[in-house]
């Protein structure tokens, strides 16, 4: 039904990357979200730059006043004009930068929103093939790089661009000859920066990838600190971090070569430019083609002309790094979800829970089939047990029932309606999931319960907590239902977290229930409490139970035994125990282990049981 893409975004051979400069232009286009305010910023920078340049013009006029027949009153008047221009320059730039901050913050807000919201639309396959550290690097580091570009050099570069254009125009108005001489700095500077960018540009891209690797290692290390300490691997993991960190350092040094070299280069080119202008201007004065005041003004304009060049090129490393980060962000924004609703998909109406699989084939990666010709039927209210060796395909059946992934061929129907003809949201609204590893959010207990269904009342949540046997321990928490769960509920025991997820599923009130061995990681006493809550949750619902301990599905209406992606046996517990086949061997091997624990030396040599 779908064709999957393999690989990761970090590998350019696996996915087409947009050009960095195109990504940079897309990023800058976000500034247009507040067009009126952006227009005002441009006007203010224009006014500020014009008034600043006129200061240089007035300086030349003042020099001519001193060397000519003008009066002291003329000089005072010119000084007052210069003071007024200085005030106008300050006011224009102050408010220009102030409003630019509002414009850039709106752009940053929208980029973050577009990135995060689009990630919520992507299918599980996308997250399966992305290291969490890589994704976190894009959401944090790359956004930080763009933030630095917007907050630091953008205003300076905008001011410099206006100054460059206006200064150049003023220079050509004063003297075309000297203006041409001054323009020598442009190709010199651009050529030098281009050569440096050939080294620094790829290095910035590689630096972000190295930082993503470093983030991934740090996140994994912190998450697995208990295991690291238990196996005394602190020195080894520190060594691994050093290797990855040194790799980032080396690439970072290459990336920063531009910013390290550009300043002395711009000083050199600026001094050369001023010297040439002074030389040609002096010759023109000797030949009576130019006045001293005009040359003074021109030298001042030449310095102003070199200043924006210096500013723009000195911040070129910000441009390169922002372009690389924008490119990485837009790769995610441009990613298409694998699982989409078909045109004309309708909402799945409340169902009874009649589930039918017909000849279902599925593969996570094309050519590597996981499920093969799976067919079965679950009647409303039935409990279906799924068992088999690790990797047999039990969880995969659940993943395609919920449409986390699309099948290769066959059909899946609920109450006679194909799950591919209905919207994903309406399908999942009627399927409740309780996983083996419960996940809770860093929020209050009450809000974690309400996560099951939007609009659920406090009273409904409290009643569900009572039905799930967790009301008592919740009321013993420091603030009861208002207690904040830290770090995914680490301040609760495993069993308490599981009971909360069962209560959350009750609040969702699904018609179909999926249980992934919800009692495998708890003690016997807690298991009884969880089993009682699960029985309450299963009442009147079709349920699929992935069983690692087969004793949890002995009362199932139908048990499906899966091996190598195929249903090799099916029936009730009693039927398959009598048959003495694959299920019998699985069950007896678990039973044998438990007997051996209780009675040392005991062995089971029953029919078909492995010894």
| Percent of the chain predicted with pLDDT > 70 | 84
Distance of CA 375 to the CA centre of its chain: 38
Compute the CA torsion angle 36, 37, 39, 44 (nearest 10 deg): 150
Tokens 């995914």, located at residue: 488
Predicted pLDDT at 226: 66
User: Do the Cβ atoms of 208 and 137 come closer than 8 Å?
Assistant: yes
More confident residue, 498 or 525: 498
Mean pLDDT for the chain? 81
How far apart are alpha carbons 200 and 254 in whole angstroms?
6
Query: What is the mean predicted confidence (pLDDT) over 284-290?
Result: 82
Structure tokens at 222: 């912190």
Q: What is the pLDDT of residue 67?
A: 62
Would you say residue 213 has pLDDT above 80? no
Buried b (16+ CB within 10 A) or exposed e, 503-531: bbbbbbbbbbbbbbbbbbebeeebbebbe
The dihedrals phi and psi of 344, each to the nearest 5 degrees, come to 80, 10
Helix (H) or strand (E) holding 558: strand 558-563
Per residue in 559-587, pLDDT tens?
999 999 999 999 999 999 999 999 999 88
pLDDT of residue 524: 65
User: What are the strands of the beta sheet with 417-418, ordered from one edge?
Assistant: 371-378, 355-362, 409-414, 417-418
Helix, coil or strand: residue 491: coil
Residue 602 token pair: 């005991």
Alpha carbon distances (Å) from 143 to 62, 114, 136, 148, 247? 49, 12, 10, 9, 22
| Cα–Cα distance measured from residue 412 to residue 26, given in angstroms and rounded to the nearest whole number | 42
Full set of structural domains in the chain with CATH: 20-333 (1.20.1560.10), 355-598 (3.40.50.300)
310-354 confidence digits (pLDDT tens) = 777 767 777 878 888 898 899 899 998 888 999 999 999 889 999
pLDDT category, 419, cuts 50, 70, 90?
very high
Q: Shortest CA distance to 54 belongs to which of 300, 243, 252, 228? A: 300
Alpha-carbon distance 330 to 114, whole Å? 10
Q: What is the pLDDT of residue 3?
A: 37
Q: Identify whether the C-beta of residue 606 lies closer than 8 Å to the C-beta of residue 596.
A: no
Which pLDDT band, with edges at 50, 70 and 90, does 212 fall under?
confident
pLDDT in tens, 223-242: 677 677 766 777 877 887 78
SS3 content of the chain, % helix, strand, coil (to 5): 65, 10, 25
The 3-state secondary structure of 77-129 reads HHHHHHHHHHHHHHHHHHHHHHHHHHHHHHHHHHHHHHHHHHHHHCCHHHHHC
C-alpha–C-alpha distance, residues 518 and 515, integer Å: 6
pLDDT, residue 354, reads: 95
Instruction: Identify which of 61, 60, 59, 307 has the alpha carbon closest to the alpha carbon of residue 182.
Output: 307
Instruction: Round to whole Å and give the CA distance between 478 and 407.
Output: 47
Residue 328 pairs in a beta bridge with none
Strands 512-516 vs 431-434: parallel, antiparallel or unpaired: parallel
Q: Is residue 553 scored above 50 in pLDDT? A: yes
Which pair of tokens denotes residue 353?
């829970």
Confidence of residue 193 (pLDDT cuts 50, 70, 90): low
pLDDT tens readout for residues 4-32: 333 344 433 333 344 767 888 899 999 99
| Of the listed ranges 154-158, 345-349, 360-364, 552-556, the one predicted with least confidence | 154-158
The 3 state secondary structure assigned to 354-370 is: CEEEEEEEECCECCECC
Does residue 68 carry a pLDDT above 90? no
Of 123, 138, 105, residue with least CA distance to 3: 123
Higher pLDDT, 591 or 473: 473
Q: Residue 371 above 80 pLDDT?
A: yes
Backbone angles phi, psi at 442, to 5 degrees: -75, 80
- Secondary structure letter of residue 547 according to DSSP: -
pLDDT digits (tens, 9 = 90+) for 596-607: 443 344 443 344
Instruction: Determine the Cα–Cα distance for residues 425 and 453; give it in Å rounded to an integer.
Output: 13
Cα end-to-end distance, the chain, whole Å = 44
Q: Is the pLDDT of residue 204 over 80?
A: no
Helix axes 20-29, 316-333, angle to 10 degrees: 90
More confident: 357 or 192:
357
What is the predicted pLDDT for the residue at 523? 62
- Element (DSSP H or E) covering residue 60: helix 35-67
């Amino acid at each position: 039904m779908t064709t999957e893409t393999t690989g990761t975004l970090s590998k350019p051979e696996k996915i087409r990357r947009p050009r960095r400069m195109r990504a940079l232009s897309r990023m800058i286009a976000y500034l247009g979200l507040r067009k009126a305010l952006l227009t005002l910023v441009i006007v203010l920078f224009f006014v500020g730059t014009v008034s600043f340049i006129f200061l240089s013009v007035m300086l030349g006029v003042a020099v001519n006043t001193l060397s000519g027949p003008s009066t002291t009153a003329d000089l005072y008047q010119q000084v007052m004009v210069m003071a007024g221009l200085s005030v106008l320059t300050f006011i224009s730039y102050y408010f220009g930068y102030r409003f630019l901050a509002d414009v850039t913050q709106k752009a940053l807000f929208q980029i973050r929103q577009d990135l995060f919201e689009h990630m919520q639309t992507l299918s599980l396959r996308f997250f399966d093939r992305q290291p969490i550290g890589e994704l976190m690097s894009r959401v944090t580091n790359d956004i930080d790089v763009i933030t630095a570009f917007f907050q630091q050099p953008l205003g300076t570069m905008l001011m410099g661009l206006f100054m460059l254009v206006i200064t150049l125009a003023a220079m050509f108005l004063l003297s075309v000859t000297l203006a041409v001489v001054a323009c020598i700095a442009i190709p010199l500077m651009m050529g030098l920066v281009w050569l440096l960018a050939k080294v620094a540009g790829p290095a910035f891209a590689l630096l972000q990838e190295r930082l993503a690797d470093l983030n991934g290692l740090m996140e994994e290390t912190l998450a697995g600190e208990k295991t690291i300490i238990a196996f005394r691997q602190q020195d080894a993991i520190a060594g691994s971090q050093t290797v990855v960190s040194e790799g980032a350092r080396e690439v970072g040094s290459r990336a920063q070569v531009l910013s390290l070299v550009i300043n002395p280069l711009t000083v050199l080119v600026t001094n050369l430019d001023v010297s040439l202008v002074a030389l040609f201007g002096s010759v023109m004065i000797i030949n009576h083609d130019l006045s001293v005041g005009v040359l003074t003004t021109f030298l001042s304009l030449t310095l102003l002309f070199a200043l924006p060049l210096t500013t723009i090129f000195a911040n070129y490393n910000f441009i390169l790094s922002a372009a690389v980060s924008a490119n990485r962000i837009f790769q995610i924004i441009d990613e298409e979800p694998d699982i989409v609703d078909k045109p004309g998909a309708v909402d799945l109406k409340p169902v009874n829970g009649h589930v039918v699989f017909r000849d279902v084939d599925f593969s996570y990666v094309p050519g590597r089939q996981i499920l093969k010709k799976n067919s079965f039927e679950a009647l409303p209210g039935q409990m279906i047990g799924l068992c088999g060796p690790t990797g047999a395909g039990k969880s995969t059946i659940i993943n395609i029932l919920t449409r986390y992934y699309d099948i290769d061929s066959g059909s899946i129907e609920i109450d006679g309606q194909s799950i591919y003809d209905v919207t994903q949201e309406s399908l999942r609204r009627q399927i409740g999931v309780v996983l083996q590893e419960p996940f809770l959010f860093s929020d209050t207990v009450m809000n974690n319960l309400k996560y099951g269904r939007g609009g659920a009342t406090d009273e409904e949540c409290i009643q569900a907590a009572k039905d799930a046997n967790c009301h008592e321990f919740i009321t013993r928490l420091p603030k009861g239902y208002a207690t904040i769960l830290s770090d995914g509920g680490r301040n609760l025991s495993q069993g308490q977290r599981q009971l909360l997820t069962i209560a959350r599923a009750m609040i969702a009130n699904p018609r179909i229930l999926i249980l992934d061995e919800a009692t495998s990681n708890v003690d016997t006493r807690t298991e009884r409490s969880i089993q009682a809550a699960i029985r309450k949750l299963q009442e009147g619902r079709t349920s699929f139970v992935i069983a690692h301990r087969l004793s949890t599905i002995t009362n199932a209406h139908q048990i499906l035994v899966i091996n190598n992606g195929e249903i090799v046996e099916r029936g009730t517990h009693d039927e398959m125990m009598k048959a003495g086949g694959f299920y019998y061997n699985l069950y007896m091997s678990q039973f044998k282990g438990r007997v051996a624990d209780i009675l040392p030396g005991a062995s089971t040599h029953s029919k078909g049981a492995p010894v």
